[in-house]
Structure 1
Amino acid sequence: MPEKSTRNISIYPILTVNFIGTLGLSLVLPFLVFLVERFGGNALIYGIIASMYPAFQLIGGPLLGKWSDIYGRKKILLLSQAGTLLSWIIFMIALFVPVIVLRDVSSSLLGEFTVTIPLILLFIARAFDGLTGGNVSVANAYVADITEEKDRSKNFGKMSVAMNLGFIAGPALAGLLSVTVYGEKLPVLAAIIISLAGLLLIAFFVPESRKCADNPESSSSEKSKISGNEYEKCVTSGQKSRPGFKDAFAIEHIPYMLLIYFLVFIAFNMFYAAFPVYAIDILDWDVAEMGFFFSALSLMLVIVEGPVLSNVSMKFSDSQLAIIGSIILGTNFVLLAFGDVLLTYAAAILFAVGNGFMWPSIQSILSKLAGKEHQGVVQGVSSGFTSIASIAGLVFGGFIYSQIGAGVFLIAAVLIYAAFFMSFRLLSFEEAN
């Protein structure tokens, strides 16, 4: 349960931060593949650049989560957002740098591509954004700090809604901006402005949520005020009591929860790697039809994770919602294997309902198990697990699809069904707490 001094902190500023972060990211990703090709890359190079963010987030996420437990959520959110802003500035520089060829590569294994200076800058931009990309894990810890246990599933659902709204608005805004004479420069400029807005929002409207009056590591404290909210600024002494990564794995049930995280995210990313190719090869969709599908899917997720989850969470526990959601989500992947347009849209409905019930509930259970003292480090470690799963899912999803086609969705279904059976154990976790 949050402390009395944090109960009055509004969740809406951090929801806005979440929305802004997703909006900035989704603004540029739709035409990233075209930039890569223009700068000399091929499909392999695009895949590597796309994986730079989760790969470096694997390093930065757990570390930033740990730091947020020590130094406070606000400072680390500011650091992470500043890193995102700098990464987009580097991205913008790549658009103005001449395409100077450093090396031509022609290989039967790697294909043909050219190493150029702007291509290297894209690598650096995506890697740096990933390294400082712990804002999701820290934002989740922030929500856990200010939320009572009975409202956690609902509030984590709101976090997912904010992200999905960003994914709806970003590509649409990118489409409008990129048709101007400025091409990709205008969407990238928009990403820079949006990231700056996020930085200012955190600085002036997001109060510190990390209270450490009860933290044994604190030797003294002094009162400070930020945006009219009084909080305790801890002056730490002694490193032994600071939470570390081993502390996360030592918490009862956390390793089990991280395994469920891992299975779910591998399945998700196998879907995201295979579905665009599947839609072109099997469903014969064009870019517009694919864009409509993902927009419709995101809109349904917003509805489910918003008003629907708010009502359902009052009738079912987090563990029950995780069980119900996972069986629905697994069935969605089974329907995709048939290669029928009508079944694909039916699968999208199941995806929205299954994911909308399951994912916020799993996040809620994880935050309850972490307790007050280890929210940041646990959320950071979970972010690391999702990064590993994202990389593995993207790589193997594309490879498996090239071997067995739509059968890849059946493998994803098996992974989700495994998470379904594992979720029954979550009932005992909630009873113990």
Structure 2
Amino acid sequence: MNRRAGTLGASSTSPGTSAVDPARRRSVIRVAYLIAALDVTWMFLQFAVTPYLAKKLGFDTLQFGYLQTTVGVIQLFGGPLFGRFGDLFGARAALTLACSATVVFFLLLANATIPAMLFIHKLPTVFMHVLPVTQMVVADLSEPEKKAEALSKQGLCFGVGMIAGSTLGGQLNTRYGERLTAYCGAAGSACSLMLVLLFIPKNTKVEAAANNPASEAGNKSIFSVGEIARLMKFPRVAKIFVIKLVAGLPSVIFQVMFSIIALDFFKLQPQQNGYLLAYFGIVQMVVQGVIGWLTARFPERQLLLLAIGVACLVGVAQILFMATVTQFCVIVAPMMFSLSLFSVVTDSMLTKSVPSSDTGTMLGLCASAQSLLRTVGPTVGGYLYMNYGISSIGLSQFSINTVVFIYLLLRRFNKPAKEKE
């Protein structure tokens, strides 16, 4: 496929369009979905290794929180730079680097025999941004009115990868141990790398670079803070980004603490933990079908309110009804719905607010928002869990999202009718 054309962005037609066969664009999007699903598979396979290996090496809850924070700090700085790298050098180069880093990550994990090695094996995560780059490919090649729907389909990939990775990881870890499981992750990541080299084109931009004033200025630096800050000056970008950070914090706290909750609160073994994560994946796939239907029929502002409103209810449920695994499984459905809808809508709104030539950098910033939250999340979550119990995490979910929901609702009612439309 990549022999036929080095780029999907070359066009002799009007600006913002592509002369490439739409069927070819669809095939590249499908390969991007496949690579995303595989990346999530290896990520959840790693979840079946790291917490149990950390426990064997003598990590307590606080030390494991430091390990999670290390990843957040590394990816916090790597996200926007990697997104900028994708905008400048194209999707194939960015995905090649990301998949290669994932191979190194698993090889280091397989050979982690002392506590320090668990921290060292996290260093390649500075380049491990496969999902934002595949999102960039999908966003670049999708029509503007179908962008939210196309991005929501990546949630299906996430669900498939969650089921496959958690089930495979749990089975491999139980039968063969952490080391072989990590080597399987390295081999799988190498397969993802081959798909990138064979099927992903060098560039996926559908807007000519000449349409972007920044490109005319000739600024090609990956480390340009000014180029990254420039995106925040586009209309509504800064506000949506702040909402993404504030409303996303409670969910990230729960995500980073889930491994500890599974081990310490629910007392799950690796195989049982794998089955629970596989259940998450099934719920995720069902939820994505609903989200795809919603994004095709309702405005994004309404869907953002819906996502945050459901998150408030999830917080209440976490406070009152999360004493057993069964109760938790019931809460998972609205939780996954809220998380997925919030992520899809905010990512779509942000990528629509910037030129196509900057979608990689924008999605890199979105990834960095998650990394920033993962930097503070383990410390906050560990403190809440150890001092106030699991219900305190639900209380933070309810209170923070309630404040954001009221803010958005008041802002909506205070706007003129034309602006609401």
TM beyond 0.5: yes
Kindly report which structure 2 residues correspond to 1:24-103, keeping only aligned pairs within 5 A, or say none: 24-94=42-112
1:409 Cα deviation from its structure 2 partner: 0.8
The answer for the alignment partner of 1:368 in structure 2 is 352
The answer for the alignment partner of 1:355 in structure 2 is 339
The answer for the alignment partner of 2:400 in structure 1 is 415
The answer for the alignment partner of 2:234 in structure 1 is 251
Kindly report which structure 2 residues correspond to 1:258-297, keeping only aligned pairs within 5 A, or say none: 258-274=241-257, 286-287=268-269, 292-297=275-280
The answer for the alignment partner of 1:123 in structure 2 is 119
Kindly report which structure 2 residues correspond to 1:213-362, keeping only aligned pairs within 5 A, or say none: 213-215=208-210, 238-239=218-219, 244-274=227-257, 286-287=268-269, 292-305=275-288, 307-340=289-322, 341=324, 344-362=328-346
Q: Distance in 1 between matches of 2:405 and 2:150?
A: 23
Amino acid in structure 2 at the alignment position of 1:196: A
The answer for the alignment partner of 2:3 in structure 1 is none
Q: TM-score normalized by structure 1?
A: 0.81
Taking a change above 3 Å as real, the CA distance of residues 376 and 274 of structure 1, as seen in their structure-2 partners, is closer
The answer for the alignment partner of 2:149 in structure 1 is 154
Whether the aligned pair in 2 keeps the contact of 1:270 and 1:412 (CA below 8 Å) is no
Taking a change above 3 Å as real, the CA distance of residues 186 and 53 of structure 1, as seen in their structure-2 partners, is same
Bigger fraction of residues in strand: 1
Taking a change above 3 Å as real, the CA distance of residues 312 and 404 of structure 1, as seen in their structure-2 partners, is same
Q: Distance in 2 between matches of 1:324 and 1:423?
A: 11
Higher relative contact order (CA 8 A, sep 6+): 2
1:292 Cα deviation from its structure 2 partner: 4.6
Secondary structure in structure 1 of the residue aligned to 2:219: coil
1:396 Cα deviation from its structure 2 partner: 0.3
1:172 Cα deviation from its structure 2 partner: 0.7
Deviations 1:125-182 (A, max 9, x none): 2122x210232222222211011122122111111221232122112101222233x4
The answer for the alignment partner of 1:106 in structure 2 is none
1:48 Cα deviation from its structure 2 partner: 2.1
Taking a change above 3 Å as real, the CA distance of residues 83 and 344 of structure 1, as seen in their structure-2 partners, is closer
Whether the aligned pair in 2 keeps the contact of 1:90 and 1:125 (CA below 8 Å) is yes
The answer for the alignment partner of 1:104 in structure 2 is none
Amino acid in structure 2 at the alignment position of 1:309: I
Amino acid in structure 1 at the alignment position of 2:143: E
Whether the aligned pair in 1 keeps the contact of 2:141 and 2:206 (CA below 8 Å) is no
The answer for the alignment partner of 1:171 in structure 2 is 166
Q: 2:200 aligns with which of 198, 206, 212?
A: 206
1:212 Cα deviation from its structure 2 partner: 5.6
Secondary structure in structure 2 of the residue aligned to 1:330: helix
Taking a change above 3 Å as real, the CA distance of residues 345 and 178 of structure 1, as seen in their structure-2 partners, is closer
1:197 Cα deviation from its structure 2 partner: 0.9
Q: Within the alignment, does 1:139 sit opposite 2:153 as a pair? A: no
Amino acid in structure 1 at the alignment position of 2:278: S
Amino acid in structure 2 at the alignment position of 1:357: L
Deviations 1:30-54 (A, max 9, x none): 2312322434544333222233322
Whether the aligned pair in 2 keeps the contact of 1:336 and 1:343 (CA below 8 Å) is no
Deviations 1:376-424 (A, max 9, x none): 1111122212111122122201211222221331111222233334545
The answer for the alignment partner of 2:37 in structure 1 is 19
- After the TM superposition, which of the residue ranges 419-428 and 345-354 deviates more from structure 2? 419-428
Taking a change above 3 Å as real, the CA distance of residues 349 and 26 of structure 1, as seen in their structure-2 partners, is closer
The answer for the alignment partner of 1:189 in structure 2 is 183
Q: Distance in 2 between matches of 1:396 and 1:15?
A: 34
Q: TM-score normalized by structure 2?
A: 0.83
Deviations 1:23-75 (A, max 9, x none): 11211222312322434544333222233322211111110111212222221
Secondary structure in structure 2 of the residue aligned to 1:215: helix
1:201 Cα deviation from its structure 2 partner: 0.8
Which ranges of structure 2 fall in alignment gaps of 5 or more residues? 1-14
Whether the aligned pair in 2 keeps the contact of 1:154 and 1:310 (CA below 8 Å) is yes
Taking a change above 3 Å as real, the CA distance of residues 356 and 383 of structure 1, as seen in their structure-2 partners, is closer
Which ranges of structure 1 fall in alignment gaps of 5 or more residues? 100-117, 219-233
Percent identity between the two aligned chains: 19
Bigger fraction of residues in helix: 2
Deviations 1:305-340 (A, max 9, x none): 1x2222222321222212112211220111110145
1:356 Cα deviation from its structure 2 partner: 3.5
CA RMSD for the aligned pairs?
3.1
